Structure 1
Amino acid sequence: MTRKLDLRTGRPVWYAYRAPTVPTGRLTRDIKADVAIVGMGISGAMVAEALTDAGMSVACIDRRGPLLGSTSATTALVQYEIDKPLSKLVPGIGKDRAERAWRRSRLAVTNLMARIDELGIRCNVETRQSLYLAGDVLDASGLRAEVEARRLAGIHATYLPKAELRERFGIARDSAILSHGNLALDPRKLTAGLLLTAGQRKARFYAPAEATGIASSRDEVTVATRGGPTITVSHAVLATGYELVPGFPQVPDHQVISTWAIATQPQKRMLWPDAALIWEASDPYLYLRATTDGRVICGGEDEDFTDEARRDALIAEKSDRIAAKLKRLLPRLDTAPEFAWTGSFGTTATGLPYIGTLPRLPRVHAVMGYGGNGITYSRIAAEIVRAALCGNRDSDADLFGFPR
């Protein structure tokens, strides 16, 4: 059913930390539920938690297993700042829609933090500041314009000129934007925690179980799986990440690209002030954060291709480049990689995800989170899908749906 991708290669840093096990069973017979969720990564987990919280019976399947797709490859900078700067997004989709998208992204991060706290999920979550450094997309004057655009949208941000940036953070760049209220967390522990919460509400998990087809009628959806068993439901949710379903509606600005990342040994005493999330107003951009035990995770060097063999062969070369860039930015760090990995992720021209019912298939819902905001977009998707399945309409659903 899905276009299969080798989503990641190498050794992601998250395997240095034990995540809870999510028990799964084998799908050996036909079953029924209110909702079938295809995919047990972060998006599927958030949707499963939201729908079981609303009292729905849920069956989740994954052709690999829980936490085994692209979720493990994320660097987990959970930011409300969309990849496309607000000042750049406005000309593309209009001021009202751009401001709504940014405000909803900020709300999603706030809601996610509140939900993690409410459910008591232990995923090393911490609130972090964010530094957006001047680059080839926005220079110093561009960052000033971006701060003003955010202010007019009701989103606080502080412009840091060169001298203040160096004094406060020890970073030698022309300028930066300082933001507040973003998150750093362990994505595998969060995903496992959400799935286990859904499981306590009787959600059923089946893996390996590969969806091979979906048939939708006016009243129900049937998900066929490899080996024969079917799942009959009122609604299906496709949370398959960047492995698109054949027959999926054309997404003209969709692109799957390759990225690389490294993680250093723990070095808490060498970290920059407040361990702020750092990324660049550049294309492609460097992005980095610290873990709770002081490792520095840094990624970038994105390229526009999905050839897995070529991508994997570049791990050593790209790791060296990322380590060198990190050293130039923060000379005090030991930037030697202890972990190095690569993966594929999707992006769109606007940086916005696609979330909503598929054209001509009103009982089939797609969750396609893109760019550097995958976890944030997963939260938005859970809110939008829950509203739809409860007979309501999310006020921002039009920003992310098909077509647009």
Structure 2
Amino acid sequence: MEMHNGNLYWPTTESEQIVLQKPIKKERYDVLVIGAGMSGTLTAYTLYKDGVDFAVIDQGKVGAGSTAANTGLIQYSNDIMLHELAEQIGEEDAVRFYKLCAEAVDALDEVAGTVDAKDVYIRRDSLCFASSEADVSKLKREYEMLTKHGLAAEWLDREALQDRYPFDKPAGLITNGDAEVNPLTLSRQVVRYLSTQNVPIFEETDVTEVVADGDDWLVLTPAGTFKAGHVIFATGYRPAPLLDTHRIELNRSYAIATNPVPDFDEWEGQALIWETKRPYLYLRTTVDGRIIAGGLDEEKAETPHSEALIQKRAERLRQEVEALFPMYDLTVEYAWVALFGESIDQLPFIGEHPDRPNLYYLLGYGGNGTVYSMLGSKILSELVRGIDNPDARIVRLNRTR
């Protein structure tokens, strides 16, 4: 399965290759993490901090999958708004989930500081604007729900929004405490850090089969068999072994990175920007002065090879950005398409397999995959250590909505 096609931006920011000494495989590990993208590396980081005996394997090179195509918007708000989630799972659980996401944004900040990636993890506010007059009431309801539960937010009517941004939209909602990140650099910095701590990471180790061996699991690869008491699948948007995927949908989205622009004087705080309509446009800035924008989601589970199609979608994205910021003379320097996964209820799947003890999954489906990976790593670290986590039920694999 090809996770992305086109000309990716993030790999151009990473000139230094990661050289890992291939570790000697032990007879048994307490935990084996399968996957070394964002979810796998964050899981490995948390397990290491919690003193767990574990190893990591990946079928390719670290960061070569979905992480390299991630647009790097870090937000506690979700594709499903808090008031909508409350209608779906109840207000108490919905609020708890949103607060878990907010805590994960802070935790990512701590990770970035530990692994020397603070320069690529930058705290920002987010602006969500009403795409039409019909969406104003929905956005206002979200503002009221957020502030009711102590999540910092600010309401902007049309006039207040126009005073602060160069576009005319019916209303806006600002949330505080989000961030932008270079996801590839963050992921690789975590790997570099773990490597200095002698964490065993096996690259180019493809899993061919996973079979039970008493209370343990055997993970078969061309490089040999790994034995572990617990196995965590952190495989991104690739199919998760031994798991029913009927509640998961794969779609594709397009993204661009523009030329550097002289300044962002008209872009208050360089906030992350998105909107209420679905699928939505989203955009952010980069440390070298570019604009990254994405959207135009399509319900197709494959990435097109047509360069003409990718460029056509890229031009549409450029035009939408210029409609918001007409003072910028923008050209598209990087354009790509990538697969992303969504669950039917818009929440990630994190936890133990309902029928196969000691098999765990961290599947961050949705628009907040990096945030879900951080919060999921903490849940799974407790579960594999035999600690009950009361939040695990919200994202459990066998939930019914």
**Is the shorter-chain TM-score for this pair beyond 0.5, marking a shared fold?**
yes
Residue matched to 2:82: 86
**CA distance in structure 2 between the partners assigned to 1:89 and 1:77 by the alignment:** 21
Structure 1 runs (4+) deviating above 4 angstroms are 25-31, 310-313
Residue matched to 1:347: 342
Residue matched to 1:324: 319
2:384 alignment partner AA: L
Residue matched to 1:197: 193
Q: Summarize deviations over 1:2-36 as a string: whole Å, max 9, x none.
A: xxx20011122112212653334568977532221
Q: Which moved more, 1:345-354 or 1:284-293?
A: 345-354
Question: Are residues 119 and 19 of structure 1, via their aligned partners in 2, closer, same or farther at CA, if it must alter by over 3 Å?
Answer: same
**CA distance in structure 2 between the partners assigned to 1:65 and 1:146 by the alignment:** 41
**CA distance in structure 1 between the partners assigned to 2:21 and 2:357 by the alignment:** 29
Q: Summarize deviations over 1:232-272 as a string: whole Å, max 9, x none.
A: 111111011111134312442x1110000001111141451
Q: Which moved more, 1:189-198 or 1:310-319?
A: 310-319
Aligned ranges 1:5-404 → 2 under 5 Å: 5-18=1-14, 20-24=16-20, 31-135=27-131, 139-225=135-221, 227=222, 229-252=224-247, 254-270=248-264, 272-309=267-304, 314-404=309-399
Q: Summarize deviations over 1:274-332 as a string: whole Å, max 9, x none.
A: 11000111100000000012100000000001133367662111101111111111111
Structure-1-length-normalised TM-score: 0.93
Do 1:137 and 1:281's aligned partners in 2 also have CA atoms closer than 8 Å?
Answer: no
Q: Which moved more, 1:243-252 or 1:53-62?
A: 243-252
Q: Which moved more, 1:384-393 or 1:172-181?
A: 384-393
Question: Are residues 214 and 170 of structure 1, via their aligned partners in 2, closer, same or farther at CA, if it must alter by over 3 Å?
Answer: same
The Cα shift of 1:98 comes to 1.1
**CA distance in structure 1 between the partners assigned to 2:368 and 2:348 by the alignment:** 9
The Cα shift of 1:401 comes to 0.9
**CA distance in structure 2 between the partners assigned to 1:313 and 1:173 by the alignment:** 32
Q: Which moved more, 1:115-124 or 1:357-366?
A: 115-124
**CA distance in structure 1 between the partners assigned to 2:132 and 2:391 by the alignment:** 31
Do 1:215 and 1:221's aligned partners in 2 also have CA atoms closer than 8 Å?
Answer: yes
Do 1:123 and 1:190's aligned partners in 2 also have CA atoms closer than 8 Å?
Answer: no
Question: Are residues 79 and 138 of structure 1, via their aligned partners in 2, closer, same or farther at CA, if it must alter by over 3 Å?
Answer: farther
Do 1:147 and 1:157's aligned partners in 2 also have CA atoms closer than 8 Å?
Answer: yes
**CA distance in structure 2 between the partners assigned to 1:119 and 1:29 by the alignment:** 25
What is the percent sequence identity of the aligned residues? 29
Question: Are residues 223 and 137 of structure 1, via their aligned partners in 2, closer, same or farther at CA, if it must alter by over 3 Å?
Answer: farther
SS in 1 for 2:273: strand
Structure-2-length-normalised TM-score: 0.94
Report the count of equivalent residues.
Answer: 398
Question: Are residues 65 and 123 of structure 1, via their aligned partners in 2, closer, same or farther at CA, if it must alter by over 3 Å?
Answer: farther
**CA distance in structure 2 between the partners assigned to 1:401 and 1:20 by the alignment:** 38
The Cα shift of 1:52 comes to 1.4
Question: Are residues 237 and 246 of structure 1, via their aligned partners in 2, closer, same or farther at CA, if it must alter by over 3 Å?
Answer: closer
SS in 1 for 2:367: helix
The Cα shift of 1:349 comes to 3.0
The Cα shift of 1:122 comes to 4.5
1:256 alignment partner AA: L
SS in 1 for 2:351: strand
Give the CA RMSD over aligned residues: 2.0
**CA distance in structure 2 between the partners assigned to 1:138 and 1:28 by the alignment:** 60
**CA distance in structure 2 between the partners assigned to 1:77 and 1:390 by the alignment:** 31
Question: Are residues 140 and 29 of structure 1, via their aligned partners in 2, closer, same or farther at CA, if it must alter by over 3 Å?
Answer: closer
Structure 1: state its 5+ residue gaps: none
1:347 alignment partner AA: E
SS in 1 for 2:93: helix
Do 2:5 and 2:305's aligned partners in 1 also have CA atoms closer than 8 Å?
Answer: no
Structure 2: state its 5+ residue gaps: none
SS in 2 for 1:308: coil
Do 1:20 and 1:193's aligned partners in 2 also have CA atoms closer than 8 Å?
Answer: no
Question: Are residues 307 and 313 of structure 1, via their aligned partners in 2, closer, same or farther at CA, if it must alter by over 3 Å?
Answer: farther
**CA distance in structure 2 between the partners assigned to 1:34 and 1:313 by the alignment:** 49
2:172 alignment partner AA: A
